[in-house]
Structure 1
Amino acid sequence: MTSKKDFVQSAITEHLAPVLTKAGFYRYRPKHFLRIRREMVDSVGFQMSKWGGHDFYVHYYINLLSDPLMDIDTYRIGKRVDAPPDRDINWAGPDEATATIAIQSVTKVVEDSILPWFESVSTVRDFVVEYVAKPDTQLDSLDLSIALLHIGFTNRPWWSCEAIKDAKRYSEPPEAHERAQMEYAVQLQQAIDSFKYEELLALWRRQNVDKFKLAWMPAGLGHP
């Protein structure tokens, strides 16, 4: 029995992949592209319908490579495009012709909006601004602490770790992800105290590269 052709995937290969490849991305999965810019991991990914349809959304976002809790499929800094600017186009791929039009539309959005947004967040300092500007941001967080360390601030990260590791902050007993945050906060705070946080962040970076089997990009891409 032959499997049904994925028209969206084929259209991505023909129209979108060359544009993203030229911008330094590589194809991490059939519908997910990544680019490493030193301490940041850029993603452009598709979310297909959960209801068995052929429609999709596009997510674009940034994660920190040295965040020990990094999940390549979730994000704090980024956006989701729910629909194309041209409302006469439907982002869906039930057949080859429709998928081609849809991905051509996505490619234009990538060129006009998504790639420029990545350029506007070209450093970890820009990442911090985006992070703090979000109205629902929790400032005492591990990823923000790591970002601040990357740009040379140690005082606020130390106190954030002090808050993160406090068991009173969580439900009783803490959930697994909360316990992980607490443990990493202890490690990071101790590394700050001993002036070895750069080594710890480098270790977490290597672990993520191995865990997610990331392709390492040239160090010249982007800036810290």
Structure 2
Amino acid sequence: MDPLATLPNPRAALRMIDAQSQRPPSSGGCFHWIAGNPRHESWQADSSRVAAESSDNDIILCWSGTFGAQLFGGDIRNWTKAGAVALTEWLDESLPRLAAPATKRLLGIIPNHTHLLSDVAGQMRLWQDRSSQGLATVLYPSGLIAPSMLKDIDDHLIRSISHLAPRCALCILEDIAPCSEGSARADFHRVAWGRGILPHARIESLLRQHLPVTTPIIVMTKPPFFA
């Protein structure tokens, strides 16, 4: 079966492959991806290039970043006061440069449980405090699931989707799978939607309940994904 067939609004669903910009059918804008860790110097140059290429109604997507040496390695500082300060300072600098609320050009931060923006509470705070500045909420269920959450995954999915789906500008569906034995990572690795361990039918049911039919969905159907 086509992985898009059971989604709440297949007409608004997109396949995003090789991190290329895709055009949402309802808004007339494009998605642009800035790869890597925003805390690295190279990210600034990439973000300036993307900002110059973007137009009205576009959504610029990126991670929130990490103090860690590896993009998904995690770092305890991400979840301390130092992490909150770093995220605030980065948003203060990046939003005026990358977002333009008057023309509906938005900056969407994709959350990850190893990053500065790592949970539903943090996303809700940013939605309340920064949406008027052009910050777009991104619903990315797989990114908020850490290995320790698997035993209560239904509770975590209900919380994230019920809170974020009504407020998000975009939903990204990607799957996760355990890293191979002997891997240096104790975390998951990212795989195509429908190819991993997430409860897909449950997620799709929650999306039908909470996600507006006009909200675009990016379905990751083949690697490599945005990185």
TM-score (norm 2): 0.26
Determine which structure has the larger helix proportion and give its number. 1
TM-score (norm 1): 0.26
Mark the structure with the bigger radius of gyration.
1
